[in-house]
Chains A and B, each alone.
Chain A
């Protein structure tokens, strides 16, 4: 099903998904996904609504349980442990520990509205990673500066524009030094004039060698910033490869049909 391996296939994959299936009731959303993501790689997942791309991302972070197959992050199977030939589900603590290695940016930002920008960013480092408060504040202040919001350190999310909120959400995800950074349609809930500032921030990160998996509708971003484009349709990966290949001369008719809508 997977047509061709990645363009950047160097070293050990940081994320390995094999034969991932997921159903909601009778509706099978993922029908056997195989995907490798390598360190420092930026993978853009494209596809029409309902193709399963957001669900796939949520499975990576265990917000959804998969029904078949497995996902490995940093050499460790997520949600289960294989010992002595027996596959046992992990407890709440172990799952939390695995999740803490991944940063996630949501479509609707999901900042904690009762906390200031700074408090939002230090919450996981202090509360989950047990980093000393002072140190966490210093790191957070740097990260918030990096996304260009130094003057909003003590503002509350509701006092910020959508674009600013999403940049804070990115800083919050970076603050835990994630192995993989997951973006779930990060610009879909933004007013058109605010999309640019978020994409600029994401492009910066991409050029800094972070491992990113980005579910998006922004073809332009995928072409400029991604190392690889994965096109999904109907719960399958239909096509994947270098952005120039997949986006400029798609081989699969589904991909061609999808892309034609953006031209």
Chain B
């Protein structure tokens, strides 16, 4: 076993630093590096098992890979995929847009704002999303018509509930309100993580509270808001599959509609599984980039800092 580790021979000491007989041999730069046989063996075992498992999956006819391939890009599946993506994006965006003021309200000194935001979070986080979706979809049983009016006063406008609540609106309202409750808590946690002195400093320089939040506190809070928000978005992609219960044709609903006809249940579910995995992988990559952006100013991450610095340098020079 002749290990071809580099420069196994002792190096010549520069100067008189290594002044005793064995000193140059003791130089750790020339230390023997053992080959990690046990680690390599472990890798080999794991790769072997993985290869065997892949072969079993690939050759097992029950998985129906040709069927998976056939339907992977079928128009019905792609339509469902499109619905899943835009539904998740719209609901998530609304969730964040609603969650931010709710978080700010919960942290405010105002008792009314505090109570209302607490009530919102309490209800929408405390009941199952599935129940909320079905309730929104069946809102017409509770309120046959929806009207805009002054409390105990005259009605300004009125609509038939069934005209407003379609599967699409029920899905968006249900997902967005539920998401807003979670996002409010995530954002609140992020805002709490920023040193109180930051808000004080910004205000002592004459910034109005909203500007101080926007310019000083929120950018710092983003570091602890982004990771759980990424989680939420990925959950949201999968949560959209719940809307199949209110007859909304998302990705899962589309594959179901196909296997209800062809009885190729497993292959069609795999079509959905692969698409879900693909989207969430892309989202994870995007999340990593966003996290790097908000880590600027942190000593540990020199690349992001250097990039940002280059930008201001240009600005200063310009």
Contacts and interface: CB of A to CB of B under 8 A. Distances in A.
B11 to A, nearest CB: 35
Interface in A82-138: 92-93, 96-104, 106, 108, 110, 112-116, 118-119, 123-124, 127-129, 137
A158 interface: yes
Contacts of A176: 205-206
Nearest to A175: B205
A106 B197 contact: yes
A172 B202 CA distance: 11
A106 B296 contact: no
A154 B312 contact: yes
Contacts of B299: 156, 158-159
B57 to A, nearest CB: 47
B309 A96 contact: no
B316 interface: yes
A61 interface: yes
How many chain B residues sit at the interface, stated as a range, is 20 to 34
Contacts of A93: 208
- The B interface, classified by DSSP as helix, strand, loop or mixed, is helix
How many chain A residues sit at the interface, stated as a range, is 35 or more
Contact of A128 (B207, B219, B296, B305): B207
A104 B297 CA distance: 23
Interface string B161-202: 000000000000000000000000000000000010110111
Contacts of A63: 200, 203-204
B234 to A, nearest CB: 26
Interface stretch (B35-43, B60-68, B209-217, B282-290): B209-217
Contact of A157 (B208, B209, B297): B297
A158 B302 CA distance: 12
A219 interface: no
Contact of A96 (B198, B203, B216, B219): B203
Interface string A136-155: 01000100000000000111
Contacts of B312: 116, 118-119, 154
B70 interface: no
B110 interface: no
Given A110-B200, A137-B315, A154-B316, A104 B208 contact: no
A99 B201 contact: no
B110 to A, nearest CB: 13
Nearest to B317: A137
A23 B266 CA distance: 71
B256 interface: no
B308 interface: yes
Q: Which of A101, A118, A141, A172 has the most CB of B within 10 A?
A: A118
B316 A96 contact: no
Given A100-B206, A124-B206, A115 B316 contact: no
A176 to B, nearest CB: 7
A123 B220 contact: no
A211 B146 CA distance: 63
Interface of A: 61, 63, 92-93, 96-104, 106, 108, 110, 112-116, 118-119, 123-124, 127-129, 137, 141, 153-159, 172, 176
Interface of B: 195, 197-198, 200-209, 211, 215-216, 219-220, 294, 296-299, 305, 308-309, 312-313, 315-316
Cβ-closest 9 pairs across A and B:
A100-B206, A156-B297, A110-B201, A124-B205, A99-B206, A154-B309, A110-B197, A128-B206, A104-B204
